[in-house]
Amino acid sequence: MIKQQRILKPRRTKPLVWVFASVCAALALAVVVAGAAVISVYLAYRPKAPVVRVVSTHLDHLAYDQQEGLLDVLLTVDMEAANPNGRTAAAFSAAEFDLLFARTTTIARLRADAFEVPKNGTLPLHYVVASSGAKLEEGGMEKMQVGLRRGLIELSLRGRARTRWRVGLLPVKLWTHLDCELHYFFPNGSSPDLKDCTSKSH
């Protein structure tokens, strides 16, 4: 009895499968190339976010009406906008910072028009703040009494600025936020500790 042998013919791959595989391979190659390009740009530019920081400040005058809770101050605040990028300028806009007592009473608002900082550069921002008749709440009045007894007046500077710069051909836009505690010895008005008065970008 002769056994019949079946000859199996290989199945042909459908053209649609080849097209799908080719598209997947092309996409994978594109992802690899794009990733390599991004890494190359990052290594070449080493991008860093521009910041705003307080360089120095001095409380020149303070008068406080204990009965009415009214506060008058005169102080100077020297800030600077810094661009640590070595290959591109950085633009700052919508810069606005509130000077507060007890984090609740706004004493003054510091603003700056739009400006540009050159690569690896800084731009000074000088403010003279004269405010009178700021009304403290009950908690603020108590904190002021404590500060006067201790000889240490505490203010805070909070705000933000819009920053814009480029990494290669790609534009980058971020808000940089400042939340800084200012401590003034009273009555000489000096403020020695400003190490945490640099903004952070989000």
15 CB contacts (<8 Å, ≥6 apart)?
none
Q: Residue 38: what pLDDT?
A: 41
- The answer to whether residue 45 scores a pLDDT higher than 60 is no
pLDDT tens track for 127-149: 999 999 999 999 999 999 999 99
Looking at the DSSP assignment, which residues form a beta bridge with residue 135? 70
Right CATH for 51-201 from 2.40.30, 2.60.40, 1.10.3470, 1.10.10:
2.60.40
Average pLDDT over residues 78-106: 96
The SS3 of residue 21 is helix
**Percentage of the chain surpassing pLDDT 70?**
77
Q: Residue 168: what pLDDT?
A: 84
- Name the amino acid, one letter, at 79: M
- The answer to whether residue 196 scores a pLDDT higher than 60 is yes
The better pLDDT of the pair 47, 13 is held by: 47
User: In angstroms, rounded to a whole number, what is the distance separating the alpha carbons of residues 26 and 39?
Assistant: 20
Contact of 131 with 72, CB cutoff 8 Å = yes
Through-space distance between the first and last CA atoms of the chain, rounded to whole angstroms: 84
Is the overall model pTM greater than 0.85, yes or no? no
φ and ψ at residue 187, rounded to 5 degrees? -100, 5
Q: How many CB atoms lie within 10 A of CB 152?
A: 12
How many CA atoms does the CB half-sphere of 27 hold within 13 Å? 6
Contact of 86 with 120, CB cutoff 8 Å = yes
Compute CA 132 distance to the chain's CA centroid, rounded to the nearest angstrom: 30
91 CB contacts (<8 Å, ≥6 apart)?
114, 115, 116, 117, 163, 164, 165
Q: Residue 193: what pLDDT?
A: 83
Strand runs labelled E in the chain: 51-65, 70-83, 90-101, 105-112, 115-117, 121-135, 152-167, 170-185, 200-201
Q: Residue 195: what pLDDT?
A: 83
Q: Residue 27: what pLDDT?
A: 64
Average pLDDT over residues 147-170: 95
Q: Residue 31: what pLDDT?
A: 46
Instruction: Report which secondary-structure segment, H or E, holds 34.
Output: helix 15-45
pLDDT tens track for 14-24: 666 556 666 66
Confidence band, pLDDT 50/70/90 cuts, at residue 4: low
Domain ranges of the chain: 14-45, 51-201
- The answer to whether residue 5 scores a pLDDT higher than 60 is no
